[in-house]
Structure 1
Amino acid sequence: MRKNRAMEKHRIAILVLDGLVPFDLGTPTQVFLSARDESGQRLYRVKVCGTGPVHAESGFTLTPDHDLSELGRADTVIVPGIHQGGPVTDGTLPGEVRDALVAAAARGARIVSICTGASVLAAAGLLDGRPAATHWAWAPVIGGLYPQVKWDFDVLFVDDGDILTSAGVGAGVDLCLHIVRSDHGAAVANRTARRCVVPPWRDGGQAQYIERPVPAADGAGTEPTRAWVLDRLAEPVTLEEMAGHARMSVRTFTRHFRDETGLSPRQWLLRQRVEHARILLESTDLAVEAVARRAGLGSATALRQHMHATIGVAPTAYRRTFRH
């Protein structure tokens, strides 16, 4: 449908709700209004709609120019993130909003969410049994409210055909540019990115931005052994040596370790080595091979493999992103 109407301005309705994240509203308006053809004509028509004035989380009230009827005419419906309200507190959604979203999806509109806007789609039942993304920091809350959704908290966005969802904040830019690229090709998307002064594509997913702090030290259980291991990440450390340090059998140590960290000792050790490599890549000019050795991963090849598996990017790409 959208391709057959390529000569028309694609109609986008952005639905705003109480608790609105202003950045998530600004992202689609800026990106889609910046998308133009070679003659400079805009390719999208964007309208902001809602049921009335909404309170943004940043301390101001916004009054949309249009009501929910715009969802009935839009080719694409976009829901920005919210940080308060039923979708992120108890899984509820005002009936009129739910009905408008469900009707738009039923007639074939493309449905898009940015950040925690995915909770609105989930509350409307549109994500049941489907893959979806949202901000990694909201994983415990939103994942718990909507267990029927196949959440992926590591990626920047999920394109599931007629429903697309993005991770948090800046990932909305990635998703909007992806939509422009899908609708009009790479040249238009690249031109739009240049106009917005953002990269047209980012390597990896949001896994590279997730904070994974070491569990708090309390001096009990396997914590002293974990601290002991962290002081010698560059050295080979066996499971037997870890159990011996904790003065436990391997079986008992492994059981206690998993109970305290949620991981096996080997999984935990690999994660700590990758985290240490990330710190070295961010804070030093060491060659990748040297970083791999200091993190206890042995070689640059092993480091690349483990970083790809855990955060989706190569060491050099990660360093370009985070090294000042």
Structure 2
Amino acid sequence: MLPLCLAALTLGADPAPYPYPDTPPLTPPYVAEKRLPSIFTPKQRMIAKVADLALPGAGKPAPCGSYLWQPSYELDFELRGPTREYVPQPGDIVLSADGSVFWKLMHNLAGTSHPTHSMIVFAYPDGSMGILEAGPHDTLKCRTMEALPHMLSYENEGRVWVRRRAVPLTAEESARLTEFALATNLRKFALGRLARQLTPIRSRGPLRTAFVGKPHGLERESYFCSELVCEACVYAGLMNPCTTRPSATYPRDLFMDRSLNPYLNRHLKLAPCWDPPARWTSTACGCAK
């Protein structure tokens, strides 16, 4: 009987307290916090993405240099020398291609391909160069950011090209571009309208593009990236409002100056007002991506 009583007392007894150390720090043992995989925390992931953007005053690093290689309509990895220094100017169109398999697939399903991002340079009221993009780095807002730090962030993920404005903007055109950029900052990314590009009811088609997808200026509450670039150009007087089709235009159309869409192939020509696309890197050597 005695052994059974002792066993019962042992099992029912309170657990022994944690033996805290006798000397400071008198702290309990560290237990790692259990975290859900990032796929189950989309809000936290989005907050982190936004915090990583080159927003004004965020202090994101600027590139050690800024160079353009020789222009070419080729979407390859070759760096064609010699280089020349590049200083962003209002109206320059920047395009990029990262390694995202998802976005490459989505663009392929829509009948296009790389590049998958497009943005436009503008001047902040203080004269510094900013860049306007819808949904930078898979975020859900249109954003104005510091130009070169933002371009560096895309170089770290893949390739960056610049279609430099060959005809500098007038003061009025630049002011209009700035007005548009600041007005559309923090508007929504047009996720629904972008998704419709994968369906038969999209604004891009062999015949329908002549009649739909026209500019809306500041009337829209949301934009996708190439749509925002075209709307900005129309608002600033850089593209023809009668023939431009922002919601039917993809980044590849802006890169190539030609399109599989017959209407865009006839009307969307950035040259000669913009130079052909030139690869941008933060170094003048061939070690860039």
- The answer to whether the superposition gives a TM-score over 0.5 is no
* Structure number with higher helix proportion: 1
User: Max radius of gyration: which structure?
Assistant: 2
Work out which structure has the larger RCO, using CA pairs closer than 8 Å and 6 or more positions apart in sequence.
2
